[in-house]
Amino acid sequence: MRTIKKDGLSLYIHIPFCVRKCLYCDFLSFSAGNSRDGAATKKQEYVKALLNELAAWEEIFNKYNKKIYLKTVFIGGGTPTCLEPPLLLKIAQAAGKYTDENTEFTIEANPGTITGSHIEIFKEARINRISLGLQSAQDNELLKLGRIHTFGEFLDSYKSLMEAGFNNINIDIMAGIPEQTLESYKDTLEKVLALKPQHISAYSLIIEPGTEFYRMQEQGKLNIADEDTDRQMYSMTREMLKKHGYSRYEISNYSKKGMECQHNITYWTGGNYLGTGLGASSYIDGIRFTGTSDYNKYISIFKNRALQGMAEKQVKENTGSSLERLSIKSQMEEFMFLGLRMCKGVLKSEFADRFGISMDKVYGDVIKYFLQTGLMAENVNNGRVYLTDRGIDISNYVLSDFIL
């Protein structure tokens, strides 16, 4: 685990609770329960288990004499702000032990769940980046998505965060929402741009199997934008954001200069990350593993703090048979298909450094083909290859050719 020491580690903490599940969501999340007391108990038991898991990892790293430095922390979900502020603080502080002032420390927050005391504990725990799931500035669209907040409530949350001095805020927006029109989407973009956030994630709605939207679509009950409108929204996003000084650095992510999300960049550059909490995935030094998605199992594994020397056994029970050492071939593939999600693309020399073989030797023909068809471009000055705008539009088509 040499690289952890050298480059630092990214930590993801998953909070699976939501007030209620959005109709398009296929993430691992659920309501904590209907009864107030029941929900409170459930959240407490989860946070306790999560703290035990973090402690187990702490012990493991200590055992192998690895100095832990967290270059990024991301508390996501679900809706982390579903948790009462004191619970959230415990989690943030447990992670905070291994951070410093340079650490990017993000929390996802759902407008409508943020309270003043949440904002206080964000400050106290040195959380310095907030990611707000707005999706749309139109209340009818929010309703369609099954969101619990209105645009007004979002504005309140945003204002409170600004007032508290947060200067690294992301806003998630979505194109292709049922009932959304080109005009309403443009209005959403304008309203978001007026707030001048540092970062904007602009997604297209994807109907995932297993979601309520999927069922509705099967039944023909979902009225989503046709392809032409979808493409117009898409290009509108690029143009308007560009005009306002946001540069696109990944397929769906835009930021002001220097405000890119470092945590997510870890994912796309093959960096080491530890995922904790229910069903979270990790990737450390070429090994990928994923914790159980079975809530009760997770709770029973981490019910108690591991006894001395038993931490490894505990986390192994959680990750089960998911542990997989990626072959060099798989690592090369991921280097390409993740790296090419980023607009600056992949660096040929980095590929050669990592794998001891030149990128052209492995992917020369593929790259040549996509350069010819205008789906990729090459920057000869810095030795990077990247997807063109057209290549990004159909990136699955391009990236699948990097599977060896």
Partner 1 sequence: MERTGQSHIRNFCIIAHIDHGKSTLADRIIEKTGLLTSREMQAQVLDNMELERERGITIKAQTVRIIYKANNGEEYVFNLIDTPGHVDFNYEVSRSLAACEGAILIVDAAQGIEAQTLANCYLALDHDLEIMPVINKIDLPSAEPERVKAEIEDVIGLDASDAPLISAKMGTNIEQVLEQIITKIPAPSGDENAPFKALIFDSLYDAYKGVIIFCRVFDGSVKKGQEILMMATGAKADVVETGIFGAGRFIPSDELSAGMVGYITASLKNVQDTRVGDTVTLAASPCSEALPGYKKVQPMVYCGLYPSDGAKYPDLRDALEKLQLNDAALQFEAETSIALGFGFRCGFLGLLHLEIIQERLEREYNLDLVTTAPGVIYHVYKTNGEMLEVTNPSNLPDPSEIEHMEEPVVSAEIMVTKEFVGAIMTLCQERRGVYIGMEYMEETRALLKYELPLNEIIYDFFDALKSRSRGYASLDYEMKGYVPSNLVKLDILINHEEIDALSFILHADTAYERGRKMCGKLKNEIPRQLFEIPIQAAIGSKIIARETVKAMRKDVLAKCYGGDISRKRKLLEKQKEGKKRMRQFGSVEIPQQAFMSVLKLDEDN
* Least gap, CB of 345 to partner 1 (angstroms): 15
- Cα 309 from Cα 59, distance rounded (Å): 8
Least distance in Å: CB of 159 to partner 1?
28
The distance of closest approach from Cβ of residue 371 to partner 1 in the complex, given in angstroms and rounded to an integer, is 14
Q: Is 212 exposed, middle or buried (0-12, 13-18, 19+ CB in 10 A)?
A: middle
Residue 343: phi, psi to the nearest 5? Answer: -65, -30
CB of 109 to partner 1, least distance (A): 17
Instruction: Give the distance from CA 380 to its chain's centroid.
Output: 31
| Distance of closest approach, residue 32 Cβ to partner 1, in angstroms | 21
Nearer of residues 111 and 271 to partner 1, judged by Cβ: 271
Least spacing, CB of residue 123 vs partner 1, in Å:
26
Q: Which amino acid is at 9?
A: L
Q: In what order do the strands lie in the sheet containing 9-15?
A: 247-250, 253-255, 199-204, 169-175, 129-135, 104-109, 70-77, 9-15, 273-276, 281-284, 287-290, 324-325
By C-beta, is 234 or 302 nearer to partner 1? 234
Which one, 94 or 278, has the nearer CB to partner 1? 278
Amino acid identity at 42: K
Nearer to partner 1, 234 or 298 (CB): 234
The Cα–Cα gap between 121 and 85 comes to: 7
Asked if residue 81 lies in contact with residue 19, where contact means CB atoms within 8 angstroms, the answer is no
Residues that bind partner 1 (CB under 8 A): 12, 203-204, 206, 227, 230-231, 234, 251-252, 264, 267-268, 273, 275, 279-283, 288, 290, 330, 333-334, 337-338, 341, 373, 375, 392-397, 399-403
**Judged by CB, which is closer to partner 1: 118, or 249?**
249
CA distances from 68 to 50, 91, 97 (A): 18, 17, 9
Residue whose CB is less far from partner 1, 381 or 400: 400
191 pairs with which residues across the strands? Answer: none
